[in-house]
Structure 1
Amino acid sequence: MLTLGTIKRFFKRKPTRNPFTPPVSVLKPVRGLEKNLLRNLKTIATQDYPDYQVIYSVQDPQDPAYPILKEIQQELGKERISVVISTVEAGANGKVNNLLGAIQEARHDIIIISDSDTYLQPDYIKNIVNPLANPDVGCVCTPFKVTKADTWYEKMELLTMNADFMPSVMFAEVTGASNSCLGPSIAIRRSTLDQLGGLESLADYLVEDYEIGRRVWTSGQKMVLLPYIIDVVVDLASWKNWWSHQVYWDQNTYLARPAAFISTILIRSIPFALIFSFLRWDIIGLGVLTATILVRVITAAMVAKEIGDKETIKSLYLLPFRDAVGLIFWALAFTQRTVIWRGVEFKLTSHGKMVRNRLIQN
C-alpha cells in the first residue's frame, strides 16, 4: 500500500507547462527486425511538434531493418528523416556505438535518445523536452511499461518491469531513496552531454543510461523523471532469451547501485514465504504463503490500475512464479561477471564497464 501511495504522489507532480518548443534531434538506434518495428518507429516520426528531425541508425548495411527505415524516409521526407549507416566501434556497448553514428547527423542542441522498441504518443516530444526550459535541468527521462507480451516468458518479462522494477523506481523517486536515468527515453542538451564527456566516454559502460544520470546529478544539475509513461514492446524469441535477460538486468542493477540492489532482498516476500511454508509444512506455513501471495497480487493489481496497465492485470496469475524465480536471478547477479554481445564475451568490472574477454565460437 505504501508503494501505491507513492505512485499516486508521483503522478500528481505535474510539471510546469510553458511554450518551450526548441528544435530537437531524435536519435533512434536500430538493430534487427523487432516485433511491431515499423509501427513503433513511425510513432517518433509523426509527432505533434513544430521542428524536429529523426535520425535512424544501423551499423550493418545488411541489417534487415534498413529497408523499413528507408520506407519511412521515403514516406515522410529526407528533411525530417535521416538514415545513417555507421560502423563505428568506440567500445563494447553496441547501442552507444550505434548512437555515435547517429549523433554526427544531429542538427540541434537538444537531443532525444529513444529506443527502437518504444511506442510513443504524439505529444511525447512536447512532454519530454518541456523540463529543459529550466537551465538547471541537465537530463530528462520517462518511466515505461512493457506491452504486447504474447508468450508466457514475455509475460514474465512484463511483470518484472511493470509490477516490480517501475514501481520501485517511482517509490525511490518520491522518497528520495535514489536517482534514476532510464535508457529507453532520454532528453539532454548536446552541450551538456559534451560537458559530461560525450557519448564516446560511455562506449565501454554496460549501463550507459545510469552513467549518464550519475554524471548529471554529480555535476550539480537536476535529473528529472517525468510523470509520463511510454510503452516498450517486449520481443523475446524463447524462454532462454527471457532467462538471460533477467540475469543481465539484475547484473545491470547490481553494478549501477550495489547497496540498493542488495537491500531488495528485504522486500522479496513471496520466495521467503514459500521457504517458510516448506520448512513448517503445516497450516500456519500455508496460511502465511497464501496471505503473502494475495497481498502481493492485489497490491500489484491496484498499482497497474492506477497507471492504466490492463496487460499487467491480465498476467498477474504468473506473478507468484515470477517472484519466486526472481530470487534466483538476484543471486546470480553476484556470481556472473560476463555478458555476450554480438558473439563476443565481455567481462564486467566493478565500475560497470565491459572488457573484451574472448570470441564465442558458433
Structure 2
Amino acid sequence: MTGAMGQIAAMVGWALAGLSLAGTLYTVLAGVTLYHFYSHPPPAGARRDGVTLIKPLHGAEPQLADNLASFAIQHHAGPVQMLCGVQRASDPAIAVVEALKERFPARRIDLVVDATPHGANPKVANLINLEPHIAHDVVVLSDSDIAVGPEYLPTVLAALDRAGTGAVTLAYGGRGDAGFWSRIAASGLSWQFLPGAVFGARLGLARPCMGSTIALRRETLARIGGMRAFADVLADDFAIGEAVAALGLSVDVAPALVVHGSTEADFGALWRHELRWGATVRALVPTAYALGVIAMPLPLALLALPFHPLAAGCCAALALIARGAVARLADRLTGVRSAPIWALPLRDCLTFVVFLGSWGVRSVDWRGATLRMESEGRVSALPEVPLT
C-alpha cells in the first residue's frame, strides 16, 4: 500500500510540475501578445460623433472626481454628454458631480437621481433609470472606478466604425486607491487579468465584454432589449456582449488601456470582491474558468515541492521569472505601478486560493447587498437585505 501511495504521490507531483511548466509557457505567450497588441496602436482620426457617456455612481469612492474628470478631457470634436446617475438623494457622489460641473462649465454633465428599483442588480437598475435620458446615438457605458486618457474616445469610436462591429470594449489594469490591500487587488488586474484577457481575445479563445468600457450604438442597445433585459443579471457586461454577438455582430477589444481604481481597504473587502468575481466567471463559463488554473504556474510549482523538491524548485524559479517580466510589462503599459514586485508571490498564491474558494460560492456581496446566484449568471436578492 505504501509503495502504491508513493507512486500516486510521485505522479501527482509530476503532474503539478508539468502544469506549472505549461503555465510558464502560457505566461510567456501572453506577455508577447500583450506587448504586440498595445505597443503599436493604429492612429485614430478626428471624430465628430455625438456621444453619451453613462456613469452609474454609488458613493464618493476614492478618486471619483479624478476618474470622472478624465472622461471630460477628451480629444473629440463632437458633442459629448456625460450622464451620471445615483439612486439616493443622499448619495455623496452627487456633490462630486456638482463640483465636476463647476470645474468643466463648457461640458454637458447631466445628473439623474432616481430610486426606482428594477430587478436584483442595483447597478443595472441605475442604468435602466438613466436610459431615457440618453441624448446621442453612440452610447459608452463605463464603471465609476475607471480612468482614461485623452485619446480614449477617438480610439473607441474608430473601433466601433469597423464593419460588423456591434460593440467595443477595453481591457484594463489596476491602480490601488485605498492602501496596501487595494494595491494587491490592483496587481491582480494588471498582472493576471490583463494578460489573460488580451491573450484570449486575440486568439479567439474568449469574447470579453468588460465594464471598463462598452461602446455601442443606441440602435444596437435597443435591439438587445435595452438595459431592462439585464435587470437580474450579475455580470451585466458579459451578458450585453453575448446579446450583441447573438445579433451576428462582433464585440471588439480596442487597442487602448484604461485603469481601474481598486478601493479595497482591507483583506476582507478584497476577499469578498475577488470571490464574487471568480464565482461569477465560474457560473458563466465553468470549463474556461477551470482551465484558467494553467495561468497560475507559481502556486502549482509550490504544491509540487513536497513531492519533487529539485524539479519543482526549478519550475517555481522559471514561473517567478516569467510572471515578474509580465508584471513589469503590464505596469509599464498601463503607466501605473500597481504593487511592488516583491508582492508577486503573495498575489499569485492569493489568486490560486480565490480560484479554489470560488467553486463553493452560492451568494455574493455587491456594495452591501447580498445576491443569491441563480442559473445562467442570473441573481436574486435575499429579501432580508436591502439593496439601497
| TM-score past 0.5 threshold | yes
- Structure 1's 157 and 344: CA in aligned 2 closer, same or farther, altered over 3 A? closer
Which amino acid in structure 1 is aligned with residue 116 of structure 2?
V
Shift in Å, 1:211: 0.6
1:240 partner amino acid: G
Q: How does 1:83-232 map to 2 (within 5 A)?
A: 83-149=111-177, 151-232=179-260
In the other structure, the counterpart of 1:28 is 55
Aligned length: 358
Alpha-carbon distance in 2 for matches of 1:94, 1:100? 10
Q: TM-score, normalised by structure 1?
A: 0.92
SS in 2 for 1:227: coil
1:318-345 Cα offsets, whole Å, 9 max, x none, are 1111211222211222111101345543
For structure 2, the 5+ residue unaligned runs are: 1-27
Map 1:301-320 → 2, pairs under 5 A: 301-305=328-332, 307-312=333-338, 315-320=340-345
Note if contact 1:344-1:359 (Cα within 8 Å) is conserved in structure 2.
no
TM-score (norm 2): 0.86
Q: What RMSD, in angstroms, separates the aligned Cα atoms of the two structures?
A: 2.2
Separation in 2, partners of 1:346, 1:4: 36
Equivalent position to 1:11, from 38, 63, 73: 38
Match of 1:239 among 246, 267, 270: 267
Contact in 2 for aligned 1:58/1:66 (Cα 8 Å): yes
The question of whether the paired residues in 2 share the 8 Å contact of 1:57 and 1:102 is answered with yes
Residue 347 of structure 2 corresponds to 322
| Counterpart AA for 2:262 | V
1:253 to 257, 276, 281: 281
Q: Which runs of 5+ in 1 are unaligned?
A: none
Whether contact under 8 Å (2:283, 2:375) holds in the other structure is yes
- Structure 1 residue ranges (4+ consecutive) displaced by more than 6 angstroms after TM superposition: none
Q: Distance in 2 between matches of 1:120 and 1:310?
A: 12
Q: Is the 8 A contact 1:346 1:358 kept in 2?
A: no
User: Does the 8 Å CA contact 2:35/2:329 hold for their aligned counterparts?
Assistant: no
Shift of residue 234, structure 1, vs aligned partner = 1.5
TM-aligned CA deviation for residue 198 of structure 1: 0.9
Offset at 1:122? 2.0
Alpha-carbon distance, 1:225 to partner: 0.4
State the secondary structure of the residue aligned to 1:34.
coil
The answer on whether the counterparts of 2:272 and 2:364 sit within 8 Å (CA) in structure 1 is no
The letter of the residue matching 1:8 is Y
Deviating more after overlay: 341-350 vs 170-179: 341-350
What SS does the corresponding residue of 2:251 show, helix, strand or coil? strand
String of CA shifts for 1:107-160, please: whole Å, max 9, x gaps. Answer: 111111122112222222222122222352110111111114553311211121
Q: Does 1:82 align with 2:107?
A: no
Q: 2: CA distance between counterparts of 1:152 and 1:79?
A: 35
Which amino acid in 2 is paired with 1:272? Answer: L
- TM superposition shift of 1:52: 0.9
Structure 2 CA distance for partners of 1:285 and 1:167, relative to 1, 3 Å: closer
**Match in the other structure for 2:14:** none
Match for residue 278 of structure 1?
306
2:207 & 2:255 partners in 1: Cα distance?
Answer: 14
Work out the CA distance in 2 between the residues paired with 1:152 and 1:181.
Answer: 29
Note closer, same or farther for the CA distance 1:122–1:293 as it changes in structure 2 (3 Å cut). closer
1:41 aligned to 2:86?
Answer: no
Shift of 1:20: 4.0
Residues 57 and 72 (structure 1), Cα distance of their counterparts in 2 relative to 1, 3 Å cut:
same
Asked if structure 2 preserves the Cα contact closer than 8 Å seen for 1:344 and 1:358, the reply is no
Q: Which moved more, 1:327-336 or 1:194-203?
A: 327-336
Task: Name the amino acid aligned to 2:261.
Answer: V
**Distance across 1 between alignment mates of 2:367 and 2:345:** 33
For the Cα contact (< 8 Å) 2:53–2:80, is it kept in 1? yes
